[in-house]
Amino acid sequence: MCGIVGYIGKDNATRALISGLYRLEYRGYDSAGIALLTKDNIFLKKVAGRVSELDNAIRDRVPDASIGIAHTRWATHGVPNDINAHPHTDCEKRFAVVHNGIIENYRTLKKFLEKKGHRFETDTDTEVIPHLIEEFYDNDLMSAVKKACSYFKGTYGLAIISLANPDCLVVTRMGSPLVIGKGKDEYIVASDLAAIISYTDKVIYLNDGDVAEIHPDRLRIESREFGPVAPEIERVTLSLEQIERGGYKHFMLKEIYEQPVILRDTIRGRLNYEEGIARLHGIANYIEKLRDAERIIIIACGTSWHAGLIGEYMIESLAEIPVEVEYSSEFRYRRPVLKKGTICIVVSQSGETADTLAALREAKRHGATVLGICNVVGSSIARETDAGIYIHAGPEIGVASTKAFMAQIMTFALLSLLLGRLRRLPVDEGRDIINAIRRIPDQIQSLLEELPGQIKELARTFKDHRNFLYLGRGYNFPVALEGALKLKEISYIHAEGYPAAEMKHGPIALIDKNMPVVVIAIKDAIYDKVISNIEEIRTRQGIVIAVGSEGDSQLKKNVDHIIYVPKTLDHLYPLLTILPLQLLAYYIADFRGLDVDKPRNLAKSVTVE
């Protein structure tokens, strides 16, 4: 949510900043801006709209500069227009700041600063930052930034340049991500690695409360609380190929097609057929605690929350440990009862979701062990959990999560196998599960070859419908939720997911001859019940699009459209049934001519609450 990038070094700063912004655009895309330090002033350009609009506005019209900062915005305070776009400056335009996060006490600070004569131009919370730095500045930018930060309540990742200190860039963070890339006589800082890896693979992750003063050839880091910090340089393995579209029309489609490969990465080295068990080295020291847990609480938001629900069903049925699934935003603000024997598992693709990070900290404050299921290596959540499992989905750029969801489900399949075997499952059953897990990537590969033609047809037929209902039961109830979420977020069609049997407690009133109802009706333990639900829809003339198990010819007779998926074990079906729903959402949005990768009002990583 908001992307910030800063550059200092020998190269042309504009080039580094604009290419960085393009790579960070998935974090927010309602306005963009750049500030460059020149000999006499700070050159500033801000525009409402996409990065390309900023790029066009400054092309051939920028001064030479080797220090600068830039921003792509997802508006929180102040409508997205030119003025509210970042960077923001002080009264004399001597300091420029880009910010990701929210300064919650900005109204109080603004009043304080206005009394001191500061003049404000925007409706943003961010504008108090340069003014406060101006207020405290005494020939040392880093000290002024540190002092200003001690007044902020909220979250921030900041990059600051100053006319008075033309040889350095200062950055700091609290609750919002910030990575420093170290090149040869140059540094590039950004909200995430995507903007950095074309420059260098050497990075330094800042911790909350750290402030860094960066010169082209050196940097100094200080923790506001603990004093000087020795920079720890890490090498990253991310490649440019992984963050490019590679011939696909959209990142979302590329990421859907990557799923077989991703799942092979998720399970690689983690299955032991001999013992019929999974091995998860990241949580090796917590296995006994987990095995003996009296209760597990899974905490997440959005799609990750849906994966958590599938995890709940898997762990309860395979390992018989009671599991609850909580929205991070709810968990953090109520009084959770975390008795000894409760283990929390936070699930997050980005590892930066503000509510999940806050929930993690809240759980730790109560003394709970908190484990993570995360995608982004080195992210805040990955670093703050006691231990965790990486899902190995690679960078997910499409705003609508697809491959991360699959990899999260697979990770829960591994975890439930491990816990199940440690608690109650015989080795043979463990081996059957391993066999089924190993087949999944190939099964998805075949579906990716077979389904698109049929799904495109369905998408053409239904693209102009205004409402959809998605129904599923058991393991496939969360898949119904996820299918509905995918459709609404990228196509702006209203869609609701429901447990199929709940339909008659309300949503059935919506059903008429214009209502498409997507029903997941695979041959699992509750198949017959779902068939009855389909009858209830048909009786009311609803249009049924069913996802069924291959070979189920009976089902075909009872529905309007059918999409088959291959057979697997009940608890692994979500890995197959979600695929047609991802494709359906994608093609409907594409046929509607929408920007699939950058849906309106959304941003990839929600770093504000």
Contact 31, 51 (CB under 8 A): no
Determine the 3-state secondary structure of 217 from DSSP: coil
Name the packing angle between helices 427-462 and 403-423 (round to 10°): 160
Residues 6+ apart with CB under 8 A from 151: 105, 109, 132
- Which amino acid, residue 315? I
Q: Which of 369, 401, 416, 476 contacts ligand F6R by CB under 6 A?
A: 401
The answer to the question of residue 191 lying near ligand F6R (CB under 6 A) is no
Q: Which is nearer to ligand F6R, 126 or 349 (CB)?
A: 349
* Cis peptide leading into residue 599 (ω within 30°): no
Which is nearest to 213 in space by CA: 198, 228, 232?
Answer: 228
Q: Which residue's C-beta sits nearest to ligand F6R? A: 302
Q: Which of 303, 329, 342, 607 contacts ligand F6R by CB under 6 A?
A: 303
Q: Which stretch binds ligand F6R (CB under 6 A): 129-137, 295-303, 561-569, 590-598?
A: 295-303
What is the DSSP secondary structure assignment for residue 481, as one 8-state letter?
H
Which residues inside 463-522 make contact with ligand F6R, applying CB under 6 A?
485, 489
Kindly compute the dihedral angle of the four CA atoms of residues 379, 383, 389, 394, in this order, to the nearest 10 degrees: 20
Determine the 3-state secondary structure of 191 from DSSP: coil
CA dist list (Å): 532 to 483, 518, 528: 21, 15, 6
Q: How far is the CB of 159 from ligand F6R (least distance, A)?
A: 22
Q: Which of 4, 16, 277, 301 contacts ligand F6R by CB under 6 A?
A: 301
Structure tokens at 290: 């987990």
Q: How far is the CB of 346 from ligand F6R (least distance, A)?
A: 8
Q: How far is the CB of 86 from ligand F6R (least distance, A)?
A: 22
Number of chain residues interacting with ligand F6R (CB under 6 A): 15
Residue indicated by tokens 């902020």? 152
Other C-beta atoms within 10 Å of 346: how many?
Answer: 31
Structure tokens at 284: 């090796």
Q: How far is the CB of 472 from ligand F6R (least distance, A)?
A: 18
CA dist list (Å): 352 to 223, 235, 348: 20, 20, 8
Which residues inside 547-606 make contact with ligand F6R, applying CB under 6 A?
605-606
Q: Which stretch binds ligand F6R (CB under 6 A): 110-118, 348-356, 430-438, 538-546?
A: 348-356
Q: How far is the CB of 251 from ligand F6R (least distance, A)?
A: 12
The answer to the question of residue 380 lying near ligand F6R (CB under 6 A) is no
Q: Which stretch binds ligand F6R (CB under 6 A): 208-216, 296-304, 309-317, 542-550?
A: 296-304
3-state helix, strand, coil in the chain (%, to 5): 40, 25, 35
Which is nearest to 407 in space by CA: 267, 568, 245?
Answer: 267
Which residues inside 103-142 make contact with ligand F6R, applying CB under 6 A?
none
Q: Which of 126, 162, 176, 349 contacts ligand F6R by CB under 6 A?
A: 349
Q: Which stretch binds ligand F6R (CB under 6 A): 183-191, 234-242, 300-308, 500-508?
A: 300-308
Q: How far is the CB of 23 from ligand F6R (least distance, A)?
A: 17
Q: How far is the CB of 533 from ligand F6R (least distance, A)?
A: 26
Q: Which stretch binds ligand F6R (CB under 6 A): 13-21, 164-172, 260-268, 344-352?
A: 344-352
Which is nearest to 189 in space by CA: 310, 68, 11, 322?
Answer: 68
* Residue 569 dihedral angles phi and psi, to the nearest 5°: -75, 150
Q: Which is nearer to ligand F6R, 72 or 568 (CB)?
A: 72
Structure tokens at 452: 């698109």
Q: How far is the CB of 348 from ligand F6R (least distance, A)?
A: 3
Q: Which is nearer to ligand F6R, 188 or 596 (CB)?
A: 596
Q: Which is nearer to ligand F6R, 160 or 179 (CB)?
A: 179
Contact 212, 244 (CB under 8 A): no
Q: Which of 216, 276, 302, 420 contacts ligand F6R by CB under 6 A?
A: 302
| Active site positions, annotated | 2, 604
The answer to the question of residue 350 lying near ligand F6R (CB under 6 A) is yes
Q: Which of 165, 356, 369, 607 contacts ligand F6R by CB under 6 A?
A: 356
> Which secondary-structure segment (H or E) carries 452?
helix 427-462
Sheet strands side by side (includes 42-48) = 42-48, 31-37, 67-73, 3-9, 186-190, 179-182, 202-205, 234-235
Residues that bind ligand F6R (CB under 6 A): 301-304, 348-350, 353, 356, 400-401, 485, 489, 605-606
